[in-house]
Amino acid sequence: MPLAVVLVLAGVFATGAGLGRTAGSPLSWAATGGEQTSTTAPAARTAARPVSLSVPSIEVSAPVKPVGDAPDGTIGVPPLSRHEETGWYDRGPVPGDPGPAVIVGHVDTKSGPSVFYDLGRLRVGDTIEVTREDRSVAVFTVDSVEHFPKDQLPADRVYGHDGPPTLRLITCGGQWLGGRDGYADNVIAFANLTTTRPA
């Protein structure tokens, strides 16, 4: 992957918590030959925006709020003051629309675990439910949970607007490095749409 793709996904936090430094900015990915994605306006969509996330196997039940691009062109995250909230990247697909939808969350804070603390414990076959504003629920099944060094995040598997409806849940993991680096890795749960049903 080109070195130009290696940028921060979210801001660098003084606390060293949350996503910290990571790789694979959607802006840099498009600029270096990835799929042409919009980072200045939301993608065309048919599904209503997500409002809550449920992952029963790791006891996650959390609100979902839109996040856009950080000032450096990377993906923003919820503020640490709302670390139990998840962030849907609203420049990409809505969960349930074609392409990979992205939801990010903090792994911890100085005071303890956060919303995606147990993301790495997800297993193949586990269910993720995303409730949308129109009260429809997009149900996804986990295909894999993978760890990537932050300079090797697979941007071509994370971003885009084409292909079947999929979901990526992203947080930090691996060794704590401290400083501007935060954690060494990203943890990503990859999931495919199973069904859509009423709430």
Q: What's residue 123's pLDDT? A: 97
pLDDT of 74 above 90: no
Residue 65's nearest CA partner among 53, 74, 73, 56 is 53
- Return d(Cα 110, Cα 96) in angstroms, integer: 34
Give the Cα separation of 192 and 199 in Å (integer): 19
Displacement of CA 74 from its chain's centroid (Å): 12
Q: How many domains does the chain have?
A: 1
pLDDT at 126: 98
Q: What is the pLDDT of residue 9?
A: 37
CA angle 183, 172, 13 (to 5 degrees): 65
Strand locations in the chain (E): 50-55, 60-67, 86-89, 99-104, 108-109, 112-113, 127-132, 136-149, 165-178, 182-198
Query: At 64, which CATH number?
Result: 2.40.260.10
Residue 190: give the domain boundaries: 3-39+47-198
Q: What pLDDT is attached to residue 73?
A: 63
CB environment 27-46: b (16+ within 10 A), e (fewer): bbbbeeebeebebeeebebe
Q: How confident is the model at residue 7 (pLDDT cuts 50, 70, 90)?
A: very low
Task: Please state, in angstroms and rounded to a whole number, the distance separating the CA atoms of residues 195 and 56.
Answer: 17
pLDDT band at 22 (very low <50, low <70, confident <90, very high): very low
- The dihedral region occupied by 118, where left means phi > 0, alpha psi between -120 and 50, and beta the remainder, is alpha
